[in-house]
Amino acid sequence: MDRHHLQIRMSLETKKELREASKRLGLPASDIVRGALFFGLPTVIAMSELQDEIVKRLVKKLKGEARLRRSR
């Protein structure tokens, strides 16, 4: 298994939440971070793609409305 290291800067509040979650769940903080990346990364990617699609549709709609205003 390849191992890679990642340094993450976080606020003290987030670090405290991570420690509390680690104690509550009985898991090492590294496992919690790995899980957050594993489940969260696909969600962030999907949200970004959705945002791009919304922007494209909005631009198309605004251009159509501008054409209608000019033709009046």
Residue 17 counted as domain residue: yes
User: Do the domain assignments include residue 47?
Assistant: yes
Place of tokens 């631009």: 59
Domains in the chain, number? 1
pTM of the model: 0.64
Is residue 67 in a domain?
Answer: yes
Alpha-carbon distances, residue 67 vs 13, 15, 30, 53, 58 (angstroms): 51, 52, 54, 21, 14
- Distances in Å between the Cα of 60 and the Cα atoms of 4, 6, 57, 65, 71 are 43, 40, 5, 9, 17
Q: What is the pLDDT of residues 11-58, one digit of tens each?
A: 999 999 999 999 999 999 999 999 999 999 999 999 999 999 999 999
Where are any strands of DSSP class E within 1-72? none
Q: Which domain does 48 fall in, by range?
A: 12-71
Tokens in use for 41?
Answer: 């990364």
Examine residue 38 and state whether it is found in any structural domain, yes or no. Answer: yes
Q: Which tokens in the block code for residue 64?
A: 């159509």
Q: Is residue 1 part of a domain?
A: no
Does any domain span residue 21? yes
